[in-house]
């Protein structure tokens, strides 16, 4: 196995040496072609993904759309080109006591990137998902370790990417796909000397192991592991009084979408003891009761959900508000639980993510206790505030707490359904991610795979186009502190 | 000791909770006040630093100037404010199939930052140096572990910062100074739960140890260790033919400045066997012979320099071109050595940094060997190309190699004397730094201490000023992909 993996990484490095210089326009054509090839897989892809994951075809129509839009968005980003963050400080030859040199910098690709896809997003966060799209956009070659829970889907998508490589006449090893489910395989690839960075989406255990392998190398490399969250939601009084039915419906959907197997699933709902909170709780249970139960992705996730759930629901002070009856292999019952703030604070089990269609309402004695609990939660991908302007104006201090907890603060909406835009942050304080300074969703995901390179007094003819005086690519550039195009 | 350090970090966290919200204007006043207070230390500071480091007063006049300029430059940066990289994607409520939310992001401070200063820059990269200045500018509280080789200098500078804290009415623990030289102290501080990031400048051994402590935590944190380089210089034919005397003088100064104790010291000079290279070598030796020998920083560095040197100079094929006679305690002889490309490739000892006034000329058989050697060197802070336009035009492939080696590529100048500007990169592939995606010199050094935070559908009145619709701070912002102010 080691010889074979060595060969893969050597090929990835060879491919990187030429691919890093491919123009933004050509990378756009490549990324668009990947999207076209994925769409050309047609019903075969949708059916295979559905078979392998127990998720409905309709879900994959949406996820394919997201995956292809994402690939094309990165294509547009690199064709436009300003993402390289070109910064130019021009020379001042007569500065005293020393002349000021001409200094220019731009982002350049890191090298071959290793991607571990997520089981819960076989298209959008797996083989041709956000990590692959952003790394290819950056100019890095990519090696994907196909997820063992959807091997045929992964192979189909890999074949689409390989077709695109060949259609675009790129180095044949710009993209490679490795199959296998051993722990050792991931370790060897992460620790190979040619691996320059890793993107991982999945569990805390897996993400932390890969991170550790990356940091224990002789030459440490960036490992961005996105490892999920409980995504705490604050339910404020005035909003509950006026919009309980609307939010109950939205949260019932958010808790159960994808059978709760989303890293932005709202797993903890915080409110202050009141009749309004009781009313919302009943409405949420009622809404959940109208949503059918579905099968989970695979046996491992189902077993884990059932066993954690049975433990947590028998914990002291935990009340089961709603527990759907669910029959059949791998089917997961949506569950709503409730616990007092005091009992929650005493029970660390309740602080961790429960991966599945589960959420727990924390009934706090007062605002102080709610803030105290909120602060004590681990780092989060998201935190959500449900509140009218009146609620928020009388609780203005809440935002200061929210800022230190999460990568994204959502107002009056559910945390699931992450928009892919320039401003997206999908990351956050550990264990949401291993480095809160980066994001794995949105266009800035590309920043994980590049480093700045400075050219001092470089002759203009030798400079990359992005930082040539004449700005032949028409980029936005920061010149002596001002953005210009 | 543990109780005391616990208290320090708890105080640093308390200070961070308020300091993170201090405005850019107020942080500017603070950073300018620190610079003023350092200048007010007057001759006392210069003399103390000189006594503790064996470096001349004149050097500290320059280094103080650099330190204070740097503090003021970060003050200007945060007062202007655009450094927070505000990105706004406005809502499209009627988008199909789903409405597009309003997404805005900006950088926010990480938390308390721990700084390990460098022995070779007691002012510019130590107590109030680049790491401290950039972290305070970012809105982080700072704990400096004073360097044991200049304790009195560090205490003087710390008192200047503490005066500034008090003059500006900030939380008294925005800045704290910890004294001690045990390894354990650094480990405890790095692994404290309130430490959110670390800046280190120094040796590979020390920098790697601190990095490992940071990554082995339950919650890993960013550790930026800058650990030095050999800074390879390519000497091309036409330049040697036409400008040998000029470059020999410049490189003799660069090799010996600060008694060679600079991380950008040009330790390896690569050229192709020729009479021009021989001539340059002689001129360089001659220039070196006219530079007096000085004392090194401390006993440890001197002992290490002498012992590595005596080993290397007796290695097979290594010829001593010039070895200054040096008398007296701690005095370091400037040394120029020479070796063939073949012998260099066979001897890994020669590939590592030798900290002191030393450089070695590698006489390569031909261009292929020169490129081969260049590629095989470790990651570098800088690499330099000395060549006329004619040289460069006939060796255009060299730049592709340079790009993958270093953080900064210098043309026709020496690598020492790092300009502090927007475009500066002082970092590079490991072991130049532990994360090539960041820099420790220049204004982007601030990016090490912040993370992006996204606000989704946040009411305008609640948004930080940087991302409010009305742009009250007048920042450059990226709005729907376009930079605007």
Digit-coded pLDDT (tens) for B225-270: 999 899 999 999 999 999 999 999 999 999 999 999 999 999 999 9
Calculate the dihedral angle through the C-alpha atoms of B220, B221, B222, B226, rounding to the nearest 10 degrees: -90
ipTM given for this complex: 0.97
Which candidate in B68, B140, B263, B364 is catalytic? B263
Task: Output the average pLDDT for chain B.
Answer: 96
pLDDT of B176 > 90? The answer is: yes
Q: Is B454 a catalytic residue?
A: no
Q: Does B91 touch chain A (CB under 8 A)?
A: no
Could you tell me the fold of the domain covering B2-227+435-484?
Answer: Aldehyde Dehydrogenase; Chain A, domain 1 (3.40.605)
Chain A interface, mutation test: which of B198, B423, B476, most A Cβ atoms within 10 Å? B423
Nearest CA in chain A to B214: A215
pLDDT of residue A363: 98
pLDDT of residue B182: 82
Taking a C-beta distance cutoff of 8 angstroms, is the pair B403, A453 a contact?
A: yes
Q: Does B200 touch chain A (CB under 8 A)?
A: no
Mean pLDDT value of segment A204-232: 97
- The shortest C-alpha distance from A167 to chain B (Å) reads 26
- Return the closest-CA partner of residue B271 out of B365, B378, B412: B365
A322 burial level (CB within 10 Å; 0-12, 13-18, 19+): buried
Tell me, letter by letter, the H, E, C secondary structure of chain A: CHHHHHHHHHHHHHHHHHHCCCCHHHHHHHHHHHHHHHHHCHHHHHHHHHHHHCCCHHHHHHHHHHHHHHHHHHHHHHHHCHHHCCEEECCECCCCCCCECCEEEEEEECCCEEEECCCCCCCCCCCCCHHHHHHHHHCCCEEEECCCCCHHHHHHHHHHHHHHHHHCCCCCCCEEEECCCCHHHHHHHHCCCCCCEEEEECCHHHHHHHHHHHHCCCCCCCEEEECCCCCCEEECHHHHHHHHHHHHHHHHHHHHHHHHCCCCCCCEEEEECCHHHHHHHHHHHHHHHCCCCEECCCHHHHHHHHHHHHHHHCCCCCEEEEECCCCCCCEECCEEEEEEHHHHHHCHHHHCCCCCCEEEEEEECCHHHHHHHHHHCCCEEEEEEECCHHHHHCCCCHHHHHHHHEEEEEECCCCCCCCCCCCCCCCCCCCCECCCCCCCCCHHHHHHHEEEEEEECCCHHHCCHHHCCCCCCCCCEEECCEEEC
Q: What are phi and psi of A448, to 5 degrees?
A: -65, -25
Could you tell me which CATH number the domain at A2-227+433-482 has? Answer: 3.40.605.10
Q: Does B381 touch chain A (CB under 8 A)?
A: no
Q: What is the enclosing helix (H) or strand (E) of B89? A: strand B87-89
Across the interface, whether the CB atoms of A454 and B222 are under 8 A apart is answered no
pLDDT of residue B153: 98
Instruction: Tell me the per-residue pLDDT of A71-98, one tens digit each, with 9 for 90 and over.
Output: 999 999 999 999 999 999 999 999 988 8
Q: Do the first three CATH levels of B2-227+435-484 and B233-411 match, i.e. the same topology?
A: no
Q: Is A68 a catalytic residue?
A: no
Cα B193 from Cα B217, distance rounded (Å): 8
Q: B67: helix, coil or strand?
A: helix
pLDDT of residue B1: 82
Q: B456: helix, coil or strand?
A: strand
- The shortest C-alpha distance from B330 to chain A (Å) reads 30
Find chain A residues with C-beta within 8 A of B211's C-beta.
Answer: 215, 220
pLDDT of residue B163: 98
Q: How confident is the model at residue A218 (pLDDT cuts 50, 70, 90)?
A: very high
Find chain A residues with C-beta within 8 A of B409's C-beta.
Answer: 453-456, 458
Q: How far is CA B387 from CA A202, B241, B251, B273, in A?
A: 50, 10, 14, 16
Q: What is the enclosing helix (H) or strand (E) of B393? A: helix B389-393
Q: How confident is the model at residue B213 (pLDDT cuts 50, 70, 90)?
A: very high
Across the interface, whether the CB atoms of B462 and A396 are under 8 A apart is answered yes
pLDDT of residue B326: 83
Bridging pattern class, strands A175-178 and A142-145 = parallel
Spans of all domains in chain A:
2-227+433-482, 233-411
Q: What are phi and psi of A343, to 5 degrees?
A: -65, -40
| Superfamily classification of domain A233-411 | Aldehyde Dehydrogenase; Chain A, domain 2 (3.40.309.10)
Q: How far is CA A142 from CA A115, A178, B9, B392, in A?
A: 7, 11, 41, 32
Find chain B residues with C-beta within 8 A of A134's C-beta.
Answer: none
User: Of residues A1 and B465, which shows the higher confidence score?
Assistant: B465
Instruction: Tell me the per-residue pLDDT of A319-346, one tens digit each, with 9 for 90 and over.
Output: 999 999 888 999 999 999 999 999 999 9
Taking a C-beta distance cutoff of 8 angstroms, is the pair B60, B123 a contact?
A: yes
Q: Does B95 touch chain A (CB under 8 A)?
A: no
pLDDT of residue A98: 87
Find chain A residues with C-beta within 8 A of B410's C-beta.
Answer: 456-457
| Site of tokens 């270093």 | B406
pLDDT of residue B97: 83
Query: Which among A104, A412, A437 has CB closest to B457?
Result: A412
pLDDT of residue B50: 97
Mean pLDDT value of segment A247-263: 97
Cα B386 from Cα B382, distance rounded (Å): 13
Residues 8-37 in B contacting A (C-alpha not used; CB under 8 Å): 21
Cα A110 from Cα A98, distance rounded (Å): 33
Instruction: Tell me the per-residue pLDDT of B289-337, one tens digit each, with 9 for 90 and over.
Output: 999 999 999 999 999 999 999 999 999 999 999 999 888 999 999 999 9
Q: Does A412 touch chain B (CB under 8 A)?
A: yes
């Amino acid at each position: 196995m080691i010889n074979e993996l060595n060969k893969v990484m050597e090929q990835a490095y060879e491919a990187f040496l030429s691919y890093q210089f491919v123009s933004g326009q050509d990378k756009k054509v490549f990324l668009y072609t990947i999207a076209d090839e994925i769409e050309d897989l047609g019903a075969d892809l949708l059916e295979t993904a559905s078979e392998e994951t127990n998720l409905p075809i309709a879900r994959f129509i949406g996820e394919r759309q997201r995956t292809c839009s994402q690939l094309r968005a990165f294509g547009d980003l690199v064709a436009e080109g300003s993402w390289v963050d070109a910064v130019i400080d021009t020379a001042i030859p007569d500065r005293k006591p020393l002349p000021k040199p001409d200094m220019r910098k731009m982002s350049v690709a890191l090298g071959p990137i290793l991607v571990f896809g997520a089981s819960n997003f076989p298209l959008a966060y797996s083989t041709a998902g956000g990590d692959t799209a952003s790394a290819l956009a950056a100019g890095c070659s990519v090696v994907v370790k196909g997820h063992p829970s959807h091997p045929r889907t992964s192979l189909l998508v890999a074949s689409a990417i390989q077709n695109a490589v060949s259609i675009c006449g790129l180095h044949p090893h710009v993209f490679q796909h490795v199959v296998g489910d051993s722990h050792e395989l991931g370790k060897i690839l992460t620790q190979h000397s040619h691996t320059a960075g890793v993107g991982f989406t999945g569990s805390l255990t897996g993400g932390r192991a890969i991170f550790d392998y990356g940091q224990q190398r002789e030459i440490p490399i960036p490992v961005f592991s996105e490892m999920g969250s409980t995504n705490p939601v604050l339910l404020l009084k005035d909003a509950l009084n006026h919009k309980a039915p609307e939010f109950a419906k939205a949260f019932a959907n958010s808790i159960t979408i994808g059978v709760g197997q989303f890293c932005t699933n709202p797993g903890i709902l915080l409110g202050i003891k009141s009749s309004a909170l009781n009313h919302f709780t009943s409405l949420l249970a009622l809404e959940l009761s109208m949503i059918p139960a579905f099968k989970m992705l695979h046996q491992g996730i189902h077993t884990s959900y059932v066993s954690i759930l049975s433990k947590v629901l028998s914990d002291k002070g935990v009340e089961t508000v709603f527990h759907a009856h669910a029959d059949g292999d791998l089917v997961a019952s949506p569950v709503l639980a409730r616990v007092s703030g005091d009992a929650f604070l005493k029970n660390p089990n309740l602080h961790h993510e429960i991966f599945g269609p589960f959420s727990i309402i924390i009934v706090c004695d007062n605002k102080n206790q709610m803030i105290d609990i909120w602060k004590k939660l681990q780092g989060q991908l998201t935190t959500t505030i449900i509140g009218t302007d009146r609620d928020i104006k009388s609780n203005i201090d809440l935002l200061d707490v929210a800022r230190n907890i999460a990568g994204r603060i959502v107002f009056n909406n559910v945390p699931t359904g992450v928009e892919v835009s320039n401003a997206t942050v999908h990351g956050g304080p550990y264990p949401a991610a291993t480095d809160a300074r980066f994001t794995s969703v949105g266009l800035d995901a590309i920043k994980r795979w590049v480093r700045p390179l400075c050219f001092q007094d470089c002759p203009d003819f030798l400079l990359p186009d992005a930082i040539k005086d004449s700005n032949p690519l028409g980029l936005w550039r920061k010149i002596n502190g001002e953005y210009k195009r």
